[in-house]
Amino acid sequence: MAVGIKGLSSLRPVHGVRLGTVMAGIRKADRRDLVIIQCDEGTAGAAVFTQSQFAAPPVLLAKAHLGLAAPRALIINTGYANAATGEQGLEDARACCQAVASHLNCAVEEVLPFSTGVIGERIPVDRIVSAVPAALAAASAEGWNEAASGIMTTDTVPKGVSVTLTAGGREVTITGIAKGSGMIHPNMATMLSFVATDVAAEAAVLQAALKRVVATTFNAITVDGDTSTNDALVLLATGRSDVLLESSGPVWDAFVEALERVCRTLAQAIVRDGEGATKFVEIQVTGGRSAEECRAVADTIALSPLVKTALFASDPNWGRILAAIGRAPIAPLDTRDIVVMLGDACVFRNGAVDPGYSEEWGRRAFAGEEIHIRVDLGQGDASATVFTSDLSYEYVRINGSYRT
């Protein structure tokens, strides 16, 4: 079960957005596996996509369409990623977009496709196209919770959050959903996330806001060090609140803060639901010469299989943390400057184990579901934080049988 996630509360509608979720029989029977998100004309769109050189055809097509037109609809299927499928994969994704466009009487470029699931296999276009009318008919402004379930793959819980803020004297809503559990690592993770707001914004301003928050949220998580071919984070702005978002000022400040809360909650929920995860771990590195240096140290700790298995066993084997710091790809350090904390317990200082540290303290720090590791490099003022999970037997079982 996901660490610290009690369940999904009712998500708030966003004026101008409707979601329909159906069972299309894409890969497995009796499960919701097709979602169509519709938005009003005039909606602005922004997105961040996987940096994988094997970016899937739906990613390529969504990027191209977003560069040509404002979005009217998103079509999302689970079961098959439609990745490593070549030109045929592009044609398949385009056919799904065309089916939606025909029913909505809009241009095919106004429809963005997204897929998640097994790599290397085509999507069943006929089944998806046949289910499009039902998904459109099921569209509802209250359809967020069903959509959160409809985009899941190995996730054990649906993930979503709503935040409201007051800007320009009016209420603004931001609601988002996400899927992701394994193959999680920047840039980005194996994840799809769809966020909508009723603020009004030009696409360039919306993209700037998304770029501002993604570095400390979706690009600050890792479960297993693997980056997907299909990652996408989409932000839609319908403008129905009549609050204008510009690139600076009090509305910008309030909106970006709220958007970061939404993205942080969704990103951390992905880690909390990491395949087989039993621990949620925050790794904070301070005192670096640059943020990049701190991030390199945090990533090296977070990606170490030895650290992750010690976390699973609740074994405060702090030597594994030091070993990870020692091999991080950064400029040489004086190890006497480094301080390592497990929770509130100082374990390493002045080049040796802290005199006040005890194994009992360490075990207590690693015993809970949420663990905080802090490293001070003692070199400067920069910092970085990464969120990760442990590595359990269940991770191997889930991924060993993923296709069966």
Q: Which of 242, 272, 302 is the last residue of a domain?
A: 272
d(CA 90, CA 104): 21
Q: Tell me: the pLDDT tens digits for 283-313? A: 999 999 999 999 999 999 999 999 999 999 9
**303 and 178 inside one domain:** no
Q: Is residue 352 part of a domain?
A: yes
**252 and 319 inside one domain:** no
Q: Tell me: the pLDDT tens digits for 61-105? A: 999 999 999 999 999 999 999 999 999 999 999 999 999 999 999
**243 and 287 inside one domain:** no
Q: Is residue 12 part of a domain?
A: no
- pLDDT computed for residue 184 by the predictor: 64
Given CA atoms 313, 318, 319, 323 in this order, what sign does their dihedral have?
positive
Contact yes or no for 26/80 (Cβ under 8 A): yes
**247 and 150 inside one domain:** yes
**258 and 300 inside one domain:** no
- pLDDT computed for residue 397 by the predictor: 86
How confident is residue 274, by pLDDT bands cut at 50, 70 and 90?
Answer: confident
**191 and 170 inside one domain:** yes
**191 and 42 inside one domain:** yes
How confident is residue 222, by pLDDT bands cut at 50, 70 and 90?
Answer: confident
CATH of the domain at 65: 3.60.70.12
CA distances from 35 to 10, 194, 236 (A): 18, 11, 16
Q: Is residue 11 part of a domain?
A: no
How confident is residue 189, by pLDDT bands cut at 50, 70 and 90?
Answer: very low
**149 and 215 inside one domain:** yes
Q: Does residue 382 or residue 270 have the better pLDDT?
A: 382
Q: Is residue 284 part of a domain?
A: yes
**256 and 318 inside one domain:** no
Q: Is residue 70 part of a domain?
A: yes
Q: Which of 229, 252, 272 is the last residue of a domain?
A: 272
CATH of the domain at 371: 3.10.20.340
Active site residues: 190
Mean pLDDT for the stretch of residues 1-12: 85
Contact yes or no for 285/295 (Cβ under 8 A): yes
pTM across the whole model: 0.91
Task: Return the exposure string of 167-192: e unless at least 16 CB atoms fall within 10 Å of the residue's CB, then b.
Answer: bbeeebbbbbbbbbbbbbbbebbbbb
Report the percent of the chain where pLDDT is more than 90.
79
Contact yes or no for 84/48 (Cβ under 8 A): no
- pLDDT computed for residue 190 by the predictor: 54
DSSP 50: -
Q: Is residue 106 part of a domain?
A: yes
Q: Which of 248, 272, 296 is the last residue of a domain?
A: 272
Q: Is residue 349 part of a domain?
A: yes
- pLDDT computed for residue 51 by the predictor: 85
Least reliable range by pLDDT among 4-13, 89-98, 102-111: 4-13
Q: Is residue 9 part of a domain?
A: no
**262 and 288 inside one domain:** no
Cis status, amide bond into 350, omega within 30 of 0: no
d(CA 109, CA 73): 10
Domain range enclosing 158: 17-272
**30 and 80 inside one domain:** yes
Element (H, E) at 136: helix 125-137
Q: Could you tell me which residues are beta bridge partners of residue 37? A: 19, 74
Cis status, amide bond into 188, omega within 30 of 0: yes
Total domains, the chain: 2
How confident is residue 59, by pLDDT bands cut at 50, 70 and 90?
Answer: very high
3-state DSSP of 200-263 = ECCHHHHHHHHHHHHCCCHHHECCCCCCCCCCEEEEEECCCCCCECCCCCHHHHHHHHHHHHHH
DSSP 307: H
